[in-house]
Copies of this chain bind each other. A is one copy, B any other.
Amino acid sequence: MNLNQITSPTLLVDKKKCVNNIRLMTEKAKKQHVIFRPHFKTHQSRTIGHWFKKMGVNKITVSSVQMASYFANDDWKDITIAFPANIREIDLLNELAEEVQLNITIENTEAVDYLNKKLLFEVGFFIKIDTGYGRTGITFDIFRTIDNILNHADQSDKLKFKGFLTHAGHTYQAKNANEVLDIHKDSMHKLALLRNQYIEKYPDLIISIGDTPSNSIANDFPGIDEIRPGNFVFYDLMQLHIGSCTFDQVAAVMACPVVAKHPQRKEIIIHGGAVHFSKDFITINDQKVYGKLIQLDKKGWQDIEEPNYLVKLSQEHGTLKVSEEILDKIMIGDLVAIVPVHSCLTANLMKEYISVHDELIDHLSGKIK
Contact = CB atoms under 8 A, between A and B. Distances in A.
B135 A317 contact: yes
A278 interface: yes
A110 B319 contact: no
Given A86-B257, A136-B262, 5 more contacts: A108-B260, A135-B269, A136-B260, A315-B348, A351-B365
Nearest to A110: B332
13 contacts: A8-B64, A8-B88, A63-B316, A86-B271, A108-B332, A135-B314, A135-B319, A136-B260, A274-B345, A275-B348, A275-B365, A315-B348, A366-B369
Interface SS of A by simple majority = mixed
Contacts of A257: 86-89
B6 A84 contact: no
Copies held by the complex: 2
Interface in A267-282: 269, 271, 274-275, 278-281
A107 interface: yes
A314 B86 contact: no
Contacts of A335: 88
Contacts of A262: 136
Interface in A80-129: 83-89, 91-92, 107-108, 110-111, 114
Given A83-B259, A88-B335, A108-B260, A275 B345 contact: yes
A349 interface: yes
B92 A7 contact: yes
A184 interface: no
Nearest to A90: B7
B87 A269 contact: no
Nearest to A275: B348
A333 interface: yes
A352 interface: yes
Contacts of A7: 86, 88-89, 91-92
B275 A111 contact: no
A291 interface: no
Given A260-B108, A345-B274, A83 B317 contact: yes
A136 B262 CA distance: 8
Given A107-B260, A260-B107, A315 B269 contact: no
A307 interface: no
Nearest to A91: B7
Contacts of A265: 134
A79 interface: no
A32 interface: no
A296 interface: no
Nearest to A344: B315
A169 interface: yes
Nearest to A81: B316
A316 B88 contact: no
A66 interface: yes
A322 interface: no
Interface string A319-350: 10000000000011101000000001100111
Contacts of A87: 257, 332-333
Given A65-B8, A274-B345, A111 B314 contact: no
A110 B315 contact: no
A280 B312 CA distance: 12
Interface in A44-85: 63-66, 83-85
A37 interface: no
Nearest to A66: B8
